Amino acid sequence: MKILFLSHRFYPDIGGIEVNSEILAEKYGFEGNEVHLITWTKQKGKKTFPYKVVRNPSIYVLIKEHIWADIVYENNPCLRLSWPSFVLRKPRVIALRTWVSRKNGTITMQDKIKLFWISKAKAVIAVSNAVRLRSWENATVIGNPYRKNLFNNKTKGERGNSFAFLGRLVSDKGADLAINALNSIIKDTSDTRPFTFSIIGDGPELNSLKKLVNDLKLANNVSFKGVLRGQELVNSLNEHKFLLVPSIWEEPFGNIALEGMACGCIPIVSDGGGLPDAVGNAGLVFKRGDLDSLINAIRKIINNKELEIYLQKEAPKHLKEHYPEVIARKYLEVINNAII
């Protein structure tokens, strides 16, 4: 089968969709299909890929690639790349990796155009049940893959009361909520073990978060690690027992939770969007934006060894459901059915 894979952005750009495009396109090829990937990203970077990558295509090249294809796969709606499929009557499958709406839930004209385009697809995939319910109820839910060749658990010993936050330092990600929660835990607990909290990432809220840490007199407990990537990130996650994902924004899925889990962290996530799907039975969920709920979740796990062991035992089973080859086969089943 000749699959034309459309990804608005791609390597070397950095982001969740870019990573998923790289993983899925490779696995589609490994399953015996011929894959051409088209993207607007001009830079090539240093990597090479086992499939054809067409960057910043002309109209002629775009039409030529659509003529070649048996089916068109959009890794999130890509109207500027996929319009020839309508003219050439090529079957399309669209994966929804984020909300088809604004942050506040309103539907703009741009969103209405996307929804019309989605309605013309042979099949639609949603990255989480939350995305399905909010954006396209008839979609098939298939979660995200994670990079299992990179993220893995190398530390088998005790990690103590060590917490990590990973993400861009913006108000929507809730790092301040995590700091305030740990402040309450540290001040109230009788646990003599030291509590540590590593904040991995950068962003416009960095200085205000540092001020909050100083105001709460947590400088000995909280450290700012900056942006970490690749093996350096994996090594850091392997030093922590818990990963806090206190997003105020409703995350469409939440690959960070999977990556932390793969490195041996127990994820504690907010209940917005697709984060509950991302952790399954291998993490704890608290009420989004609710400080007391987060504090209670942390207390629940640090004082319950049986719960800790249970969550750690559930993690491998949950992670297997998100292996790249497992997710790719589920996608290919939908794609194959769209051609029939």
**Tens of pLDDT along the chain (340 residues)?**
999 999 999 999 988 899 999 999 999 998 889 999 999 999 999 999 999 999 999 999 999 999 999 999 999 999 999 999 999 999 999 999 999 998 888 999 999 999 999 999 999 999 999 999 999 999 999 999 999 999 999 887 778 889 999 999 999 999 999 999 999 999 887 666 789 999 999 999 999 999 999 999 999 999 999 999 999 999 999 999 999 999 999 999 999 999 999 999 999 999 999 999 999 999 999 999 999 999 999 999 998 999 999 999 999 999 999 999 999 999 999 999 999 7
pLDDT value of residue 192: 65
Out of 3.40.1360.10, 1.10.4160.10, 3.40.50.2000, 3.90.230.10, the CATH code matching 2-145+323-339 is 3.40.50.2000
Summary count for the chain: helices (H), strands (E): 13, 13
Distance CA 53, CA 106 (A): 35
Q: Which pTM value belongs to this model?
A: 0.92
How is residue 62 written in tokens?
A: 């775009």
Residues of the chain with CATH 3.40.50.2000: 2-145+323-339, 161-320
CATH of domain 161-320: 3.40.50.2000
Residues 152-161 as b or e (16 or more Cβ within 10 Å = b): ebeeeeebeb
- Residue 105, phi-psi category: left (phi > 0), alpha (psi -120 to 50), beta (remainder): left
Dist. CA 137–CA 277, nearest whole Å: 16
